[in-house]
Amino acid sequence: MNIIDRYIIKKYLSTFVFTVGIFIVVIVVFDVSEKLDDFLKYKAPMSKVFLEYYALGSIPFFLNMLTPLINFIAVIFFTSKMADQTEVVPILSGGMSFNRFLRPYMIAASVIFLFTLVSNIWIIPYTNKIKVNFENVYVKPHKISTSTMSTHMQIDSNTYVYIDNFDTKRNIGYNFSLEKFDGDQLTEKLMAQSITWDSVATKWKIKDYTVRTIDGLRETMDKGADRDTTLDMLPRDFETYDNVFTAMDTKELNQRIAKEETRGTGMMTDLLLEKYKRYIGPFSAYILTLMGVSLSSKKVRGGIGLSLGIGIALSFTFLVLVQFSTMFSLKGGLPPLIAILIPNVLFLVLAFWLKYKAPK
């Protein structure tokens, strides 16, 4: 790397860090004003509010969500400033191609890409868990569903479960039935008044049950008051609040996806969206960096304000497009992978078009 490369990388990363600091202040101020009534209503300790909820929970969450916006603004801001101070023209007119000019930007974008990827896979799920646990106690406890109605679940290739009502606070299910098949033939059906999770023995306790066993034309009935059994399901499989998947670490998320392929409880789209966001989202660092440099490397009459305004509008458009494609996947049947790729592919095409139009 030459002096120009080091200069651009330093400018890029320092502006990015500075922009992050500004956003942290803005996020905390607006979020406190919005949730202050909830904090007071549910008597949240101030030490937990600022140390647990904000420092360890909300700030990492919002920064992770807004990293594309922050990255784009940082690139446009300092590149427009370089162009306005006539620093870009001598670099390009001195024999450096535009592609070579992009190299230090892409090196800095790689730093942000790696940081975002590592955060998505290993850090953000844990900070989200802190945030979710706090919100479910001190912000919106009234929005947590404490019961799940009419749950059908396939727990392996031959076993199907139905629970009429599952209480997620007490870990008790009512009107439980379990059916086992051999191909298309029903071989056993168990029906019980209730099923309770024993966290000590890590087993399910079935009460007031009846077992019907079918062997060809022969049927036998067995009744009992209490029975322990091991099933490939846990109480957390019945948790239904919206943010539960964002608080899963990557290993747990992959395990849940593998189980969902067998069970088919209707959560696969949410799970896949969360997984693909973690791996594909960081690539926006390269796309928005290319777009930002191409857009702001030319000196314009309006100064840096014009480029900055266009950049902010485009970055918000990117975030809105991400939300729209996610909703189309959740509500309209769009495949999750396609939904995550659409904003990135569209903006990649736009970035290459802007690069083509950029000064050479």
Q: How far, in Å, CA of 24 to CA of 54, rounded?
A: 10
The identity of residue 327, as a single letter, is M
Q: What is the pLDDT of residues 47-68, one digit of tens each?
A: 999 999 999 999 999 999 899 8
For residue 175, give every residue at least 6 positions away whose Cβ sits within 8 Å of its Cβ, in sequence order, or none.
163, 164, 165, 193
Model pTM score:
0.84
∠204-205-210 over CA atoms, to 5°?
115
SS (H, E, C) 103-115: HHHHHHHHHHHHH
Find tokens 């903006």 and name the residue: 347
**pLDDT tens digits, residue range 239-264?**
765 567 888 999 999 988 988 887 77
Residue 351 Cα distances to 73, 104, 184, angstroms: 15, 17, 55
Q: Is the pLDDT of residue 19 over 60?
A: yes
What are the structural domain ranges in the chain?
A: 3-140+269-357, 147-238
Q: pLDDT band for position 360 (50/70/90)?
A: low
Across the range 178-188, mean pLDDT stands at: 92
Name, in order, each residue with C-beta under 8 angstroms of 132's C-beta and a sequence gap of 6 or more. 241, 243, 244, 246, 247
Joined together, the tokens standing for residue 245 give 């998947």
